[in-house]
Amino acid sequence: MFRRAYASRRCLVPVDGYFEWQKLDASGKKKQPYAIAMNSDQPFAMAGIWEEYADKTTGELIRTFAIVTCEPNSLMATIHDRMPVILAPEDYMCWLGPELAPGDLMKPYPSDLMKIWPIAYVGTRNTPDIIDEIGLGPSDLFGL
């Protein structure tokens, strides 16, 4: 599905953090959101691919992108079964370059360079306090 974009429309998605949800029950209805960032609090880049198409009704050119994912590192594996491909700065040009398949970059980022913390919510009321850490009790950790 993304073969053409992977071959020729790769991009960097600059961020200073991202969110992920841990399923707390078998149904997946109860979830705990987490914020994830670098230990250094510095911005970083995720591997992305982009596509463009013309809207069939208006003819307007629409551009979209997706974050490339890989298996989780040991830190992320505690809450989810995948994670974004995070690129080291020295790998940016390789990802953006003409190489058809920079597959060696599609690997988990080192856990020891990252941090993760539980947050209260992610939603329509996204204010600066969204990334404030919350305490989790045993019932939160085990979905009780």
**Residues 60-95: tens digit of each pLDDT:** 999 999 999 999 999 999 999 999 999 999 999 999
Query: In this predicted structure, what is the pLDDT of residue 29?
Result: 85
CA 103 to the chain's CA centroid:
18
Residue of 42 and 4 predicted with greater confidence: 42
Residue of 82 and 4 predicted with greater confidence: 82
Residue percentage of the chain with pLDDT more than 90: 62
Residue 107 has pLDDT above 60, yes or no: yes
Q: Which two tokens stand for residue 141?
A: 């950790």
Q: How far apart are CA 50 and CA 9, in angstroms?
A: 6
Cα angle 10, 15, 18 (rounded to 5 degrees) comes to 105
Residue 144 has pLDDT above 50, yes or no: no
pLDDT mean over 11-25: 94
What class has domain 3-129?
alpha beta
First CA to last CA across the chain, in angstroms? 39
E strand or H helix that includes residue 142: helix 138-142
What are φ and ψ of residue 104, in 5° steps?
-65, -15
Domain-by-domain residue ranges, the chain? 3-129
Strand partners, 33: 21
Residue of 22 and 132 predicted with greater confidence: 22
CB 27 within 8 A of CB 58: no
Q: How far apart are CA 22 and CA 77, in angstroms?
A: 10
Q: Which residues of 56-92 are buried (b: 16+ CB within 10 A; e: fewer)?
A: eeeeeeeeeeeebebebbebbeebeeebbbbbeeebe
Other Cβ atoms closer than 10 A to 18: 16
Residue 137 has pLDDT above 60, yes or no: no
Query: In this predicted structure, what is the pLDDT of residue 143?
Result: 44
